[in-house]
Amino acid sequence: MKATVFGTGYVGLVQAAVMAASGHEVVCVDKDAEKIAKLEQGIIPIFEPGLEEIVLTNRKNGRLRFTTDPEVGVSHGLVQFIAVGTPPDEDGAADLKYVLAVADTIGSLMSEKRIVVVKSTVPVGTCDQVKRTIEARLSKRERSHIPFDVASNPEFLKEGSAVSDCLKPDRIILGTASSETEAIMRELYMPQNRNHEKMIVMDVRSAEMTKYAANTLLATKISFINEIANLADILGADIEMVRKGIGSDPRIGYHFIYAGIGYGGSCFPKDVQALIRTGDQQKYDMHLLKAVEARNATQKRVLLDKILRYFDGNVEGRTFALWGLSFKPNTDDMREAPSRAIMESLWEKGARIRAYDPKAMDECRRIYGDREDLILVEQQEDALDNADALIVATEWKSFSAPDFDEIAAKLKSPVIFDGRNLYDPHQLKRHGLDYFAIGRNG
Ligand code: UGA
């Protein structure tokens, strides 16, 4: 089948590459000429395991093409995916200007039947707006007879495992009232839907809502466990024991109840905020989500407070080794990363950072540029040189079993502040290291 994808961010690029790898002919459109030029040369703008390989293979065999020309995109695919960003506007609501601009473009250029599929995370009612935008364009062109449908097909991929999530989705949510659209989308998703029925078809508004409900429930789980972890700290309980204890109940489950230094990334913070604003617009107070958001904001400071307490509030002139910059492992994405809140607060207080991350060093350079109080090192052990203490902000695999004797010997104050609960407190004691984690310090 022929499909077009507008937007070559995480969602668009991965969706396009996976569709091409499944045998479809895909054109990607992005207005960022530099990005498209790089993609045409086989340079992938993000680090995502497995992505480079499928982009390169399918670019070579011609099933995946890139262009800045929307005309090429609109004339190519029967199915037109909108996968552009929906960043928060000034008051936190999802800004739909990019989504509606693509709808307008499709309406301006289409000359035959099109199925427009909204993949971007959008508030309930957006597909109706997309439909009205296209209708308005068509009637201005006096082409109102051209048939089209607008469907919702939210994406549930996780950064760091985006390609495999997309190749083997837990579910394919499709919001449409049209049996023809359903049939076309079933054909498109056939490779993902072959062995088990993954497609859940519903009305458009429910599909739009499903995406926000999923992300905000996951964010709620994280803020909940973080709140319990902070109380465990005060009361002398160990959150890791509590996690195992509650996770064994299948109604709760082991997934997504890891205490830490708050959720980051491009999705949870933005989507929680956007759903709160949707509630506000409807004069419905989203009490619970407001608490989830507030807990997350304070959680990003929990480790920092432990650091300041340890050093009696004075970190000026001290150097901190920092392991992990990305908001989670297997990505170079630092959007809303807890590491940023930690670095920025320590810098404000006159401390220096020696940081290492397996993938996000270039991104860190891009964000912060050259500064005296930030040194990026090539090996994780090098971060420890002349450092007072070690902070762990991301649970990359390579941080999980380090040489604790080396850490104890290198650090001026042998102490680890672990925002991801990677280590066994008893083991660290044996190596002569002080250890502060989340919800396990008594
Ligand atoms: C999230 C969702 O998990 C995806 O299903 C969704 O498609 C995506 O947002 C999106 O809307 O695009 P992602 O942001 O890539 O995916 O990352 P997650 O793995 O969900 O992690 C989010 C944050 O929660 C990270 O900062 C992570 O460290 C934190 N987290 C996660 C915890 O603190 N504790 C946990 O138990 C799990």
CATH of the domain at 267: 3.40.50.720
Among 13, 51, 165, 215, name the best residue to mutate to test ligand 1's pocket (greatest count of ligand atoms within 8 A of Cβ). Answer: 215
Contact 137/104 with Cβ under 8 angstroms?
yes
Residue 415 in any domain: the answer is yes
> What percent of the chain has pLDDT above 70?
100
pLDDT at res. 176: 98
Tell me the backbone φ, ψ of residue 165, rounded to 5 degrees.
-60, -40
Annotated binding residue at 258? yes
28 tagged catalytic: no
Average pLDDT for the chain: 96
* pLDDT higher than threshold 70 for residue 100: yes
How far does the centroid of ligand 1 lie from the alpha carbon of residue 278, in Å? Answer: 21
**Do 181 and 40 share a domain, yes or no?**
yes
Per-residue pLDDT averaged across 71-92, rounded? 96
**Do 278 and 381 share a domain, yes or no?**
yes
**Which residue minimizes the CA distance to atom 6 of ligand 1?**
156
Range of the domain at 50: 2-202
Confidence of residue 440 (pLDDT cuts 50, 70, 90): very high
Residue 216 in any domain: the answer is no
Cβ of 169 closer than 6 Å to ligand 1, yes or no, is: no
**Which residue minimizes the CA distance to atom 22 of ligand 1?**
263
Q: How far apart are CA 306 and CA 303, in angstroms?
A: 5
Cβ of 158 closer than 6 Å to ligand 1, yes or no, is: yes
Contact 416/428 with Cβ under 8 angstroms?
yes
How far does the centroid of ligand 1 lie from the alpha carbon of residue 159, in Å? Answer: 8
How far does the centroid of ligand 1 lie from the alpha carbon of residue 9, in Å? Answer: 17
Contact 278/285 with Cβ under 8 angstroms?
no
**Do 357 and 311 share a domain, yes or no?**
yes
How far does the centroid of ligand 1 lie from the alpha carbon of residue 344, in Å? Answer: 22
Cβ of 439 closer than 6 Å to ligand 1, yes or no, is: no
Nearest alpha carbon to residue 358 among 393, 385, 388, 390: 393
Domain boundary among 184, 202, 220: 202
Residue 224 in any domain: the answer is no
Q: What distances in angstroms separate CA 287 from CA 257, 270, 281, 293, 301, one per listed residue?
A: 21, 17, 14, 10, 22
**Do 196 and 237 share a domain, yes or no?**
no
Residue 193 in any domain: the answer is yes
Q: What distances in angstroms separate CA 342 from CA 50, 154, 299, 353, one per listed residue?
A: 31, 33, 11, 10
Q: How far apart are CA 272 and CA 222, in angstroms?
A: 12
H helix intervals, 61-161: 70-76, 97-109, 126-140
The 10s digit of each residue's pLDDT in 336-367 is 999 999 999 999 999 999 999 999 999 999 99
How far does the centroid of ligand 1 lie from the alpha carbon of residue 263, in Å? Answer: 7
Contact 359/292 with Cβ under 8 angstroms?
no
Residue 207 in any domain: the answer is no
Q: How far apart are CA 281 and CA 378, in angstroms?
A: 48
Nearest alpha carbon to residue 155 among 224, 82, 104, 101: 82
**Do 274 and 180 share a domain, yes or no?**
no
The pair of structure tokens assigned to 139 is: 């009637």
**Do 424 and 324 share a domain, yes or no?**
yes
**Do 256 and 187 share a domain, yes or no?**
no
Q: How far apart are CA 138 and CA 250, in angstroms?
A: 51
**Do 331 and 241 share a domain, yes or no?**
yes
Confidence of residue 104 (pLDDT cuts 50, 70, 90): very high
Q: How far apart are CA 428 and CA 16, in angstroms?
A: 46
The model's pTM is 0.95
Phi-psi region of 177 (alpha: psi -120 to 50; beta: other; left: phi over 0): alpha
Per-residue pLDDT averaged across 375-386, rounded? 97
Annotated binding residue at 158? yes
Cβ of 340 closer than 6 Å to ligand 1, yes or no, is: no
**Do 239 and 183 share a domain, yes or no?**
no
Contact 151/127 with Cβ under 8 angstroms?
yes
**Which residue minimizes the CA distance to atom 25 of ligand 1?**
263
The 10s digit of each residue's pLDDT in 7-32 is 999 999 999 999 999 999 999 999 99
The 10s digit of each residue's pLDDT in 34-57 is 999 999 999 999 999 999 999 999
Residue 265 in any domain: the answer is yes
Cβ of 238 closer than 6 Å to ligand 1, yes or no, is: no
Q: How far apart are CA 169 and CA 235, in angstroms?
A: 41
The pair of structure tokens assigned to 242 is: 């509590």
* pLDDT higher than threshold 80 for residue 97: yes
Cβ of 257 closer than 6 Å to ligand 1, yes or no, is: yes
Residue 219 in any domain: the answer is no
pLDDT at res. 306: 96
The 10s digit of each residue's pLDDT in 294-328 is 999 999 999 999 999 999 999 999 999 999 999 99
pLDDT at res. 268: 96
Nearest alpha carbon to residue 267 among 84, 86, 7: 86
Q: Give the ligand 1 atom nearest the CA of 162.
A: 15
The 10s digit of each residue's pLDDT in 216-257 is 999 999 999 999 999 999 999 999 999 999 999 999 999 999
**Do 401 and 274 share a domain, yes or no?**
yes
**Do 182 and 247 share a domain, yes or no?**
no
Cβ of 210 closer than 6 Å to ligand 1, yes or no, is: no
pLDDT at res. 195: 86
Tell me the backbone φ, ψ of residue 201, rounded to 5 degrees.
-100, 135
Annotated binding residue at 256? yes
Contact 396/420 with Cβ under 8 angstroms?
no
**Which residue minimizes the CA distance to atom 27 of ligand 1?**
263
**Do 117 and 241 share a domain, yes or no?**
no
| The one catalytic residue among 28, 127, 166, 267 | 267
Cβ of 265 closer than 6 Å to ligand 1, yes or no, is: yes
Contact 146/138 with Cβ under 8 angstroms?
yes
Domain count, the chain: 2
* pLDDT higher than threshold 80 for residue 133: yes
Confidence of residue 442 (pLDDT cuts 50, 70, 90): low
Residue 408 in any domain: the answer is yes
Q: How far apart are CA 113 and CA 174, in angstroms?
A: 19
**Which residue minimizes the CA distance to atom 1 of ligand 1?**
158
